[in-house]
């Protein structure tokens, strides 16, 4: 699977205007359900699950957060990228603020595929230029191009 295909201009939030991580998750869920009829009715459930999941242990590291949950009854992976220019406290173990969030919802099945996606995202995220380039993006397509470029690097 080409994971870049999971991203569209509608799945990129270039400038999150929020001041805490729960609000960031809420904004990304809003964006996700706006483009996904199957998730629209389960918006509250999704947000609650994401917040609960992060409470178990932050996915933040090196300026990037990967809040993700699995949900029964959905068939496709959904992803939203949220960028916060200044960075938010996401309880990252390395103490960094998080500038770029990958919010991922996946079906209950397909653990190996999910592991592959996390590995792909982590490989891109730990590239030294990823965060600084992401916060400078002024168009969604630039973020998608960055993902493509770093995926091939």
Partner 1 sequence: MLETIVLKAKVVNSHGIHARPSHAIVSAAIDFEATIELHCDGRVADARSILSVMTLGAAHGAVIEVHASGPQAEQAATKMVEILCADQD
Positions that interact with partner 1 (CB under 8 A): 56-62, 64, 66, 68, 93-94, 111-112, 114-116, 118-119, 121-123, 125-126
Give the whole-angstrom CA distance, residue 27 versus residue 121.
20
According to DSSP, the residues that pair with 104 across neighbouring strands are 68, 79
Q: Are 129 and 75 in contact (CB under 8 A)?
A: no
Minimum Å gap between C-beta 66 and partner 1 is 6
In the bound state with partner 1, the residue whose beta carbon lies nearer, of 7 and 102, is 102
Give the whole-angstrom CA distance, residue 42 versus residue 20.
22
Minimum Å gap between C-beta 41 and partner 1 is 26
Among 135, 45, 46, smallest CA distance to 88 is for: 135
Catalytic residue among 68, 84, 114, 127: 68
In the bound state with partner 1, the residue whose beta carbon lies nearer, of 56 and 138, is 56
In the bound state with partner 1, the residue whose beta carbon lies nearer, of 24 and 117, is 117
Please tell me what DSSP assigns to residue 4: G
Minimum Å gap between C-beta 15 and partner 1 is 23
68 annotated active-site: yes
Tokens 């209950």 map to which residue? Answer: 108
Show which residues are catalytic: 68
């Amino acid at each position: 699977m080409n994971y870049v295909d999971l991203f569209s201009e509608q799945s990129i939030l270039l400038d999150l205007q929020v001041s805490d991580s729960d609000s960031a998750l809420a904004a990304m869920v809003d964006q996700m359900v706006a483009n996904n009829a199957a998730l629209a009715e389960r918006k509250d459930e999704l947000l609650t699950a994401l917040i609960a999941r992060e409470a178990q242990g932050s996915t933040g590291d090196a300026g990037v957060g990967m809040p993700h949950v699995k949900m029964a009854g959905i068939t496709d992976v959904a992803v939203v990228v949220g960028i916060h220019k200044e960075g938010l406290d996401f309880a990252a173990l390395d103490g960094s603020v998080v500038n770029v969030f990958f919010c991922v919802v996946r079906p209950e099945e397909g653990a190996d595929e999910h592991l592959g996606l996390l590995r792909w995202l982590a490989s891109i995220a730990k590239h030294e230029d990823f965060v600084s380039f992401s916060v400078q993006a002024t168009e969604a397509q630039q973020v998608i191009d960055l993902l493509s470029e770093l995926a091939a690097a």
